[in-house]
Structure 1
Amino acid sequence: LDQVFDKRKIAEVEEKLACATTDRQRIKSVEQFLLSQLRDIPRDKLIIEAVKHIHQSKGTIRIKELNQKLAISQSPFEKRFRKVVGTTPKKLASIIRFNSILNDLSEAKTLTEIGYENHFFDQAHFINDFKQFTGETPERFKRLL
């Protein structure tokens, strides 16, 4: 990491992670660090607009729909997006959707409601996507909270 980011900033994040008592605090620390790094990247209005759409949809927007809204074809869009954001639009959408799910887990909602509200059309996809981030099923993770 210190080859890509400032060593002092990495040390600050490591300290915050060590002091954090919950996964939510750790995730927030990493998100804040990554967002601060984005501020140093030259502005690309199209990509900023794309990220806004992804956030507004809580990560549920289809990338094809995003391409249509922004009037750009998939390949050049993905190249620009990856250059500015550092990942693909689909991966960012997955991260944002997972963050939305984490927020929903802290509320008094059933897992069925959470899956439906986050545009999962069946339980298997919800569980598989969730396990990619946590290694646990949503039910087991919720019990651990």
Structure 2
Amino acid sequence: MNYQTFEPQTNLRSLIKCYWALEVPAETNPQKQRIVPDGCMEMIFILGDDIRRYTSENEFLIQPRAIVVGQITEPFVIQPTGYVNCFAVRFYPYGFANFISSPLKELENKETPITELFDEEKAKELEQQIIRATNNEQRIERIEAFLIDKFNEKGTIDQVVKTTIDALISTKGSTQIGTILKEELSKRRQLERKFSKQVGLSPKQLGKVIRLQAALKMLLNENPEKLTQIAYESEYYDQAHFIKDFKDFTGINPKEFLSDEEMRLSSVFYLNE
């Protein structure tokens, strides 16, 4: 498995967390992989063989070749059909709203072809440019030109949303929304509406995802037996609260995560954050 990340090269650095590329040789019996929520939306180009996304235990759809994956609140179960070759843009939680006018809540827990979100002709042209590119540097150049054009059309980041997200990230999801708003609870409903449109999750949901991210990184890098300590350092109420949130977002408990082959890809993503 070859997973690489790349930094944005232009003034899109405030909106794009990174670009990433993934290559995995074809396997005889490829396993399903569960992708864990991370609070970020992604634009993904599938350059290798088809990838299935399971909608139930036995039912699946073939993912389109150029998609935007909205915010996910549960594991996204995928399975390669052969050689995996993907290139993608990972946006900050407040990033993707700057490129489209549709409410991001409408994209939750699914993949949407880019032709449905952008001008169809330009979206198809971008897809072909990404396919024809001979390396990731060229792909970054093409996608940045496309996104800069879209950013100029749409506007700028909502500062209230950005400030709230920055506070959640800096405190690993543990800050109370009332504290961020300096107890001006009358603004909570307005903030909820903005988050639904511009992030695709509520502030509370995003905080839970960010806190899970912090706990996952500790779990991957420290002694997995110290669940109580990880729960405490991640500011969960107790170990039971940590395990409940963990199972809600991953489908399994923390101890199973490290040995579950279906979590191999999510582990690679988190270790390289």
Indicate whether the TM-score tops 0.5.
Answer: yes
Q: AA paired with 1:125?
A: H
Partner Cα distance (1:129, 1:135) in 2: 10
Give the structure 1 partner of residue 216 of structure 2. 102
Structure 1: unaligned runs, 5 residues or longer: 21-28
Distance 1:49 1:6, change over 3 A: closer
1:78 is aligned to 2:192 = yes
Cα gap change, 1:54 to 1:63, in 2 (>3 Å): same
Confirm or deny that 1:135 pairs with 2:251: yes
Can you list the C-alpha shifts for 1:23-76, whole angstroms capped at 9, x where unaligned?
xxxxxx6x8157662442642111111110011011111122222277862111
- Count, aligned residues: 131
CA RMSD of aligned residues (A): 3.4
Query: Which structure dedicates a bigger proportion of its chain to helix?
Result: 1
Structure 2 distance, partners of 1:8, 1:105, is: 30
Conserved? CA contact 2:164–2:180, under 8 Å: yes
- TM-score, normalization by structure 2: 0.41
Q: What secondary structure, in the 3-state scheme, does the structure 2 residue paired with 1:77 have?
A: helix
Q: Which has the larger radius of gyration?
A: 2
Q: 2:166 aligns with which of 33, 43, 52?
A: 52
- Residue of structure 1 equivalent to 2:96: 37
SS at match of 1:73: helix
8 Å Cα contact 1:67-1:77 kept in structure 2: no
Distance 1:79 1:38 in 2: 13
Kindly tell me: are residues 46 and 72 of structure 1, through their superposed partners in 2, closer, same or farther at Cα, counting changes over 3 Å?
A: farther
Mapped to 2, the partners of 1:89 and 1:6 lie a distance apart of 22
Q: Which has the higher contact order (CA 8 A, sep 6+)?
A: 2
- 1:68 paired residue number: 182
Q: Does the CA-based 8 Å contact 2:45-2:65 persist in structure 1?
A: yes
> Unpaired runs of 5+ in structure 2?
1-41, 47-63, 69-77, 101-154, 265-273
Q: CA deviation at 1:104?
A: 0.9
Distance in 1, Cα, partners of 2:208 & 2:170? 13
* CA 70–83 in structure 1, closer or farther in 2 if over 3 Å, else same: farther
Report the AA paired with residue 190 of structure 2. Answer: P
- More deviation in 124-133 or 34-43? 34-43
Aligned counterparts of 1:55 and 1:61: Cα–Cα separation in 2: 9
1: distance between equivalents of 2:67 and 2:218? 26
Question: Secondary structure in 1 aligned to 2:236?
Answer: coil
SS of alignment partner, residue 131 of structure 1? helix
Give the aligned residue type for 2:182. Answer: Q
Runs of 4+ in 1 over 4 A off after TM superposition: 5-10, 33-36, 69-72
**Greater share of strand:** 2
